Structure 1
Amino acid sequence: MVTAVDRMTETLRERMPPLTALPLPRAVDERILARRWPEGELAPPPPGSGLKPVLGDAGPPVIGHTLRLMRYGVDYGLRRYERYGPVWWSGAFGRRIVTLTGAEATQLALVNKDKAFSQEGWRFFIERFFHRGLMLLDFGEHHAHRRIMQEAFTRDRLHGYVEAMAPTLRAGVAAWAATPRPRLYWSLKQLTLDVATRVFMDMRSGGDALRINRAFVDCVRAATSVVRYPVPGGRWRAGLNGRRVLERYFAAHLPAKRAADGDDLFSALCHATADDGERFSDADVVNHMIFLMMAAHDTSTITSSAAAYYLAKHPEWQERAREESLALGAEAPDAAALDRLRTLDLVIKESLRLVAPVPSMSRKTVADTDVLGHYIPAGTLVGISPSINHFDPRHWTDPHTFDPERFAEPRREDKAHRYAWMPFGGGAHKCIGMHFGMFEVKALLHEMLRTFRWSVPDGYRVRWDYVSLPVPVDGLPVDLHPLR
């Protein structure tokens, strides 16, 4: 039987770039990663400044390192870190991009005391698809919008969202019994979209689910298009079409949300009011909803996929987590009950370390600045790489190993540096929905644990596609075994 999720999976696979999808022998991958290109300076430092130039290389002609970055993700970044240290540049997407790696360089950019780093870096990649989302706003305007939006993420509202998501999660996970060997990533993606639609809009996905999910996927994947022009069949054009679909969808539902005062996020944004009486315009609400819906279900999908994968690879941790979930009883857990699932908390944090849902954050310098003594001129695109920090051996014991206990007392390796573990970003733009995301992933995995055991074949190792946000190339096939 071919399900809607199966059809969506096959359709979306067509958009996988050949280099990312093509399996290569390990020796070939190694040669590609080891290839070197002529090294040079990003820009000469001002005379007498005492600053060092940023070193790097442009990579292959025209495409630069774009495809290497997409295929190898973390491995590519770690190789560059080993070669150049915490500050380096590379050619990608037709630009020279400086990458900051390591906790110290990251802190300087995200704390941003001299306001040299702006969100214009994100605009280069996603402005056309996530126009004026919270993450794209800067300085005073960002502060004002975040202050209003905080009304949608109060403690009381979070607890209400947890209650609202529970029936959707329970029914959605139970329905997987009909497909005992799913491509789990796509099943999770559909389920997290259903949750976002229910919690954020107080609506069932219904027949719109496939169309809306496709629009979100097209918008996200368009951001890293090599051809950044709307050619027929290209990812950039698909993203622009996806944005139009989403604008029409949210605009059509907005008047009803303005007229009522519901408990969902859409209603909360329509009625959120700052202390000075400032509220969002209709355009603000639509822009923020498109961004938040994407962020909520994409990052939750990636995190729950990674955690489910590691629980399949490490059945002793799966059993330990299941014991705590079953101890909660048959009732859907509220926020307080989810807080008691200590093992899941450790597993999720370690999964966020190994597979950062947002592996890179973009900035642009609006003034000349320096990072750790390296000169970066104004107008430079800058990438900040949490995923590289998460493997830094200065802070993590055996960093490539799945070891949730590293987050437990007394080890707490995540406390080695404030920016050693940063799956939710940091500074003024730290993820506003991080607590909601943790609750959702924990509630979802809880339902999986009380419904199934799951496994992957011996020797199976997932490979992540980094075309945009991390996606398992094969959709993460698992074997589900009902508990009863």
Structure 2
Amino acid sequence: MTATRIPPHIPPQEKVRFGLTYLRKAVNCVPLTWPRAMYEEDVYVPPIPGLVHVMEPEAVARVLSGGDGAFGQAELLRRVLRPIWRKGIAVAQDEDWRWQRRAVAPAFTPAASAQVVPHANAASARIVSNWSGEPATRELFGPLGDTAAHVVIDALLDGIGDEEARDIILRHGASLTHDLRRLNPADMMHLPEWMRALTGRTGREAASQLRAALMPLMEDRLTHPRSAGSLPGLLARAADSESGRKLDAERAGDLLTGSMAAGRETTALALSWTLWLLALFPDDQERLRDEILRVAGDAPLEARHVEALDGVRAAIMESMRLYPPAPAHLRDCLRDTELCGVRIRKGTLVTIPLYAVHRHRKLWEEPDAFRPERFAGMAITDKALRGRYTPFGGGPRICLGMHFAMAEMVTVTANLLRAFRFDEVPGFEPGFAVGAGFYPKDGLKVTVTPL
């Protein structure tokens, strides 16, 4: 019997020592601070005051749902996101968050999100053109970041005819996401917010430049949407179903700037890890290619094709299990409570360490193996995955763009697998740089052969 091949990963740490080395690891690659207990136990309380890690699925679901007022979005997370989102939905609280969520939710339903497919086709065509020709070793993350950015630009702005404006937006978006890849030590040490600029990049300047480039286009699309059913058209009519309050240009700008940052990085990471894993496992890659050709042939992908590509969706879900784009969810404990018999005091930072939960020895068979079939026939919101698989979060603050992202990723992956064969580069093994996302330290290299 052939042994299962295990992709490169960060194993549970046998010895974790606390001090400056620990802080450096936490900033540069946070799973290097996670002991074996986090992959085997329900709750882990490290010898650090005010911190608890939660891995048990029911407890995870309770934390993400708010636990009847016991848990709320972490102030640490808001500090990181505020330069990008300003007063937008990702950082808004209480009623300010609720009205924004109610207003924009209709623009991101599964049906509305299906509109991303033609935009993802167009973005895929760009990279197919760039990679045509002879077989070559290529790095995935950079080009797929641009691909994801093109999709967000075209979907949320209903296209940009001005290529110069597009290039400016791409450049500022790349600068912003680069600023935020490494955790800021000031946040890790709970230093005053004004000290963030002294200890690392905050993203504030890059976010302002990106916003300045986006706002004229956004205001034009909100005033003159090309189609009532397009995302700009839906946002132009977006209003709170209870109060009637409309989404103004400022909040729309917050949404677009934040979506550019979040949509570019997380989607590019998931796409890159997926294609790299498929290069390591050519039999799985070939099965997916057969599925794509059976479902769509060589026709342009449509929403109905994307819905039918169960194998492609399962491979992406398995990729996000092994290498979650966001390494952890963060919540503040708002009142004394209990999880799995462990007392959690008010003010505690509660983390859901996705990399550990997604590889937990109690929750997954062969947790470090690449087995896309474990997600066969499942949607990202399948009840069987509740609390043990949460790449998009959970509860009322679950990622608004989840369906948009899944449709986009299935479309791009299918288009690229139809156009190319991906093979591993002999001797290449990625390093890990895990901060605000689960990054490949020196990129992800594969050999790309046009078909």
The answer, yes or no, to whether TM exceeds 0.5 is yes
Number of residue pairs the alignment of both structures matches: 424
| Residue pair 1:119, 1:137 contacting (<8 A) in 2 also | no
1:408-423 aligned at under 5 Å gives the runs: 408=376, 418-423=386-391
The 1-side partners of 2:140 and 2:384 are apart by 34
The 1-side partners of 2:47 and 2:261 are apart by 28
2:208 counterpart letter in structure 1: R
The secondary structure found in structure 2 opposite 1:272 is coil
1:279-358 aligned at under 5 Å gives the runs: 279-327=246-294, 328-358=296-326
2:237 matched residue in structure 1: 271
CA RMSD of aligned residues (A): 2.8
Match status 1:258 vs 2:222? yes
Deviates more, 1:316-325 or 1:102-111: 102-111
2:429 counterpart letter in structure 1: R
The 2-side partners of 1:421 and 1:84 are apart by 16
Shift of residue 305, structure 1, vs aligned partner? 0.8
1:325 counterpart letter in structure 2: I
The 2-side partners of 1:214 and 1:266 are apart by 23
Match status 1:199 vs 2:155? yes
The 1-side partners of 2:84 and 2:200 are apart by 12
The secondary structure found in structure 2 opposite 1:65 is helix
The 2-side partners of 1:437 and 1:275 are apart by 25
The 2-side partners of 1:84 and 1:422 are apart by 18
Spell out, residue by residue over 1:228-282, the C-alpha distance to the aligned partner (whole angstroms, 9 max, x if none): 63657x6325x12112212322333333123212355345323312334221122
2:307 counterpart letter in structure 1: D
The 1-side partners of 2:432 and 2:303 are apart by 31
Shift of residue 457, structure 1, vs aligned partner? 2.4
1:235 counterpart letter in structure 2: G
The 2-side partners of 1:448 and 1:338 are apart by 14
Shift of residue 188, structure 1, vs aligned partner? 0.6
| Residue pair 2:314, 2:376 contacting (<8 A) in 1 also | yes
| Residue pair 1:190, 1:213 contacting (<8 A) in 2 also | no
Shift of residue 129, structure 1, vs aligned partner? 3.3
Spell out, residue by residue over 1:278-304, the C-alpha distance to the aligned partner (whole angstroms, 9 max, x if none): 211222111111222222222111111
The secondary structure found in structure 2 opposite 1:361 is strand
2:268 counterpart letter in structure 1: T
The 2-side partners of 1:322 and 1:368 are apart by 52
Match status 1:235 vs 2:200? yes
The 1-side partners of 2:125 and 2:79 are apart by 39
| Residue pair 1:215, 1:245 contacting (<8 A) in 2 also | no
The secondary structure found in structure 1 opposite 2:115 is helix
1:47 matched residue in structure 2: none
Q: How does the TM-score come out when normalised to structure 1?
A: 0.80
Deviates more, 1:425-434 or 1:150-159: 150-159
Shift of residue 153, structure 1, vs aligned partner? 1.5
Deviates more, 1:268-277 or 1:295-304: 268-277
The secondary structure found in structure 2 opposite 1:273 is coil
1:126-145 aligned at under 5 Å gives the runs: 126-145=81-100
2:191 matched residue in structure 1: none
Spell out, residue by residue over 1:113-166, the C-alpha distance to the aligned partner (whole angstroms, 9 max, x if none): 321211143213322333233232334332221111112123443232212332
Using a 3 Å threshold, how does the CA distance of structure 1 residues 332 and 235 change in structure 2: closer, same or farther? farther
The 1-side partners of 2:338 and 2:21 are apart by 25
Report runs of 4+ in structure 1 exceeding 6 Å deviation: none
Shift of residue 182, structure 1, vs aligned partner? 1.8
For residue 184 of structure 2, the aligned residue among 193, 206, 225 is: 225
| Residue pair 1:300, 1:437 contacting (<8 A) in 2 also | yes
The 2-side partners of 1:156 and 1:84 are apart by 39
Shift of residue 367, structure 1, vs aligned partner? 2.1
Shift of residue 424, structure 1, vs aligned partner? 1.5
The secondary structure found in structure 2 opposite 1:182 is strand
For residue 216 of structure 1, the aligned residue among 160, 176, 180 is: 176
Shift of residue 455, structure 1, vs aligned partner? 0.9
- Unaligned 5+ runs, structure 1: 1-25, 38-58
For residue 69 of structure 1, the aligned residue among 16, 26, 38 is: 26
| Residue pair 1:303, 1:357 contacting (<8 A) in 2 also | yes
Deviates more, 1:161-170 or 1:182-191: 161-170
